Structure 1
C-alpha cells in the first residue's frame, strides 16, 4: 500500500506560554468540512496506474459508442458505470460509521470524561501533592509544640515522615496512570490500522473518480462528433451513458469527502491521545523526581541531626573536663552551629519543584476541558457528512452491495489497479 504523502492532517496541538511563562497545552482545532471538489485532489492516483486507466477509458468509449443502443451489451456497459466502485463505497461507509463512534465514545466514555481512570488518577495525584505542599505546613524549621505550648518533636521531621508514608499511595496513582497510558497507546495502534484500511479504500475510490472524469470528458467529445450525423444515438448516449457517468462521479466525490473527513477525524483523536500520553509522562516523571528528592532530603537531614548530636555531646563533655579550653570550645561550637544551620536543604527549592508539578497538572486539566469542544464540533461535522453520504448509498440495492463485496478482490489486477469492467 502506498504511503499518503498528501494525506489530510488535523491541526497539531501547540504549546503556548501565558503571561507568567507557564507552559500550556492547546487542543487541536476541530476537523474542517471537506468539500467534494477538494476531496478529488487530496488522494493521489499512483502514476503507474494512469496509463492502464486511460486505456480502459479509451476501450470503453469506443465500445459503448459503437454498440447497438438497444442490445444487451450496451445495457451491460451502462450497468458497469452504475455499479462502478459500489463495493469500495459500501466498505468505506462502514469504516466511516466506526470512525464516527470514536469521537462520540471519547466524549461520553473516554479518557476526557471526569469518571475515567486517567482523570481520577490525575485528580488523586493533584490532591496528594497538594497535601504534601511544604507551603501549607507553615514554618518547617520552627519547633513542634503539643497543645501549642509543650515542645514536641520537630516539624521538619514530621513533614518528611508524612511524605514517606504517602509514597505507597503515590505509587498506586502512578501505576494507574501508566495503565491508562498503555490503553491510549493501544487505542492509537488501532487507529493506525483503521487509517491504513481507509487509505487503501480511498486510493481505489480515487481511481474510480479518475475513470469517471476521463469517461465524462471522452464521452462528451465523442457524443459531440456523433450528434451531427446521428442525433438520436447521441441523445441516447447522453441520457443513458453520460448522465450516469456524471451521477457516479458525484456519488464517488461525495463519498471521498466523507472518507477524508473521517480520516482527518481519526488523526485528531490520535493527536489528542498522543498529547495526553505526553502529559501523563510529564506528570509521572515530575512526581518520581519529587519523591527521590524527598528521600534524599530526609536522609540528609537525619544524618545531619546525628552528627550535630554527637558534636554537641562531645563539646559538652570536653567543656566539663578541660576548664582552660572553654573559650576555644565556645568559639568552635558557634562555628559548628553556624555551618550546620547553613547546610540545611533550601525549602524554596522544594517549593519550586511543587510549582512545576502544579503547572503540569493545570496544563493537562485545561487541555482536557478544551479538547471536549473541539471533538464535539468534529462529531457534528462528521454526522452531517455521513448523513449526506447515506442518501447516495441508499441507491445501491443490498444485493448489489453484497455481490460487489464478494467480487472486491477481483476488481483489481495484479498491480492493484481497479477495473472498469468485471472479468468475464
Structure 2
C-alpha cells in the first residue's frame, strides 16, 4: 500500500509541536520581551503604591483586584471546557476507533475481498460442466455473477452508510472549528494574563527590595496581602491554561482524524467500488470469451474430423 492510500492519523505529541503550544509553567515574561504588557504592569503597580492602606475601602479594593486577576477569563475557560467535555469524549473515541465510518470501511473491504475475481476460478472442468447442468447451479461465471448481484445490495447499503458518515464528519468539523477558534482565543488571553501577573509580581518585588522599608505597613501589605495571592492566581491561571490547551489539542486531533476518515471514505467511494466493478466486468468478459473460444475450438476440431 503506497503512502497516498494510507490513512495517517494525528500523533498527539507531534501535533503539540506543530501548534506551538507553550508549556504554561515555562512562561516567563520580561519587560524586554513584553513591553506593552510591562507598561500595563507599571500602571497597575503605580495604582497599588498610591493605595491608602489605612483607608479600609481602598485597602479592600486593591487586595480584591489582585485576587480577581484573570478570574472572569478563568471562569469562561472552565465553562467552555465543561461544555466540550462530553461531546469531545465521544468524538475522540469515534475519531480514534473510526466509529460507524470505520466499521463501514471494514465491511466494504471484506465484501470487496470476497468478491475479488482474482481469487475465483472460472475454469470449467468436466465435473464443473456436469454440475452446471443441474438446476440452480450453473457455470462458474453464472455462479460468480449471481453472487456479485446478491452482494451488490449489501455494498449499496455500505456506500449509503459511508456517505452519511462522511457528511456527519464534515458537520462535526465545522462545529469543532468554531469551538476551537474560541478556545484558541481563550488560550492567548490566558497566556497574556499569566505574563501580566508575572510582570506585576516582578515590579512589586523590585519595590520591596529597593524602595519600601521592610518594617513599614506598606511592605507588609504588599508582601502578605498582594504578592502571595497574586502568585496563587498565576498558578491557577497556568493550570487553567494547561486544561484549555488540552481541549484545544484534542479538538485539533479530532478535526485532523476526521479529515483522514473523510479522505478514506472518498477513496473507497471513488476508487475501491469502481475498481471492483471494472474487475468484475473484465473477469466475466474474459471468462465468456474463453468459453466462446473453447466452443469455437471444439467446432473446428469437429470440422477437421469430418474433413479428414
Question: TM-score when scaled to structure 2?
Answer: 0.77
Q: Distance in 2 between matches of 1:237 and 1:229?
A: 11
Aligned residue for 1:227, secondary structure, equals coil
1:167 and 2:152 are equivalent in the alignment: yes
**Does the 8 Å contact 1:212/1:245 carry over to 2?**
yes
The structure 2 residue matched to 1:53, chosen from 31, 37, 40, is: 37
Q: Distance in 1 between matches of 2:290 and 2:130?
A: 25
Q: 1:126 to 1:63 in 2, by over 3 A?
A: closer
What's the counterpart of residue 124 of structure 1? Answer: 107
What's the counterpart of residue 37 of structure 1? Answer: 25
Once the two structures are TM-superposed, the CA of residue 88 in structure 1 deviates from its matched residue by 1.3
Q: Distance in 1 between matches of 2:194 and 2:96?
A: 39
Higher share of residues assigned strand:
1
What's the counterpart of residue 178 of structure 2? Answer: 193
Once the two structures are TM-superposed, the CA of residue 35 in structure 1 deviates from its matched residue by 5.5
What's the counterpart of residue 143 of structure 2? Answer: 158
Q: Which runs of 5+ in 2 are unaligned?
A: none
The structure 1 residue matched to 2:122, chosen from 136, 140, 143, is: 140
Q: Distance in 1 between matches of 2:229 and 2:238?
A: 14
Deviation readout 1:302-357 (Å, 9 max, x if unpaired): 467568767876x589879xx8xx57xxxxxxxxxxxxxxxxxxxxxxxxxxxxxx
The structure 1 residue matched to 2:192, chosen from 203, 207, 221, is: 207
What's the counterpart of residue 293 of structure 1? Answer: 279
Q: RMSD of the alignment, in Å?
A: 4.0
Aligned residue for 2:123, secondary structure, equals coil
Q: 1:217 to 1:113 in 2, by over 3 A?
A: closer
Deviation readout 1:121-157 (Å, 9 max, x if unpaired): 23432442343244664x3212434559979753134
Q: Which runs of 5+ in 1 are unaligned?
A: 1-14, 18-22, 328-424
Higher share of residues assigned helix:
2
**Does the 8 Å contact 2:191/2:241 carry over to 1?**
yes
Higher relative contact order (CA 8 A, sep 6+): 2
Deviation readout 1:193-234 (Å, 9 max, x if unpaired): 111000111111222112101100111111223433762221
Q: How many residues align?
A: 295
**Does the 8 Å contact 2:92/2:254 carry over to 1?**
no
**Does the 8 Å contact 1:111/1:118 carry over to 2?**
no
What's the counterpart of residue 180 of structure 1? Answer: 165
Q: Distance in 2 between matches of 1:229 and 1:159?
A: 95
Q: Distance in 2 between matches of 1:303 and 1:230?
A: 106
Q: 1:30 to 1:298 in 2, by over 3 A?
A: same
Trace 1:300-319 onto structure 2 (pairs within 5 A): 301-302=287-288
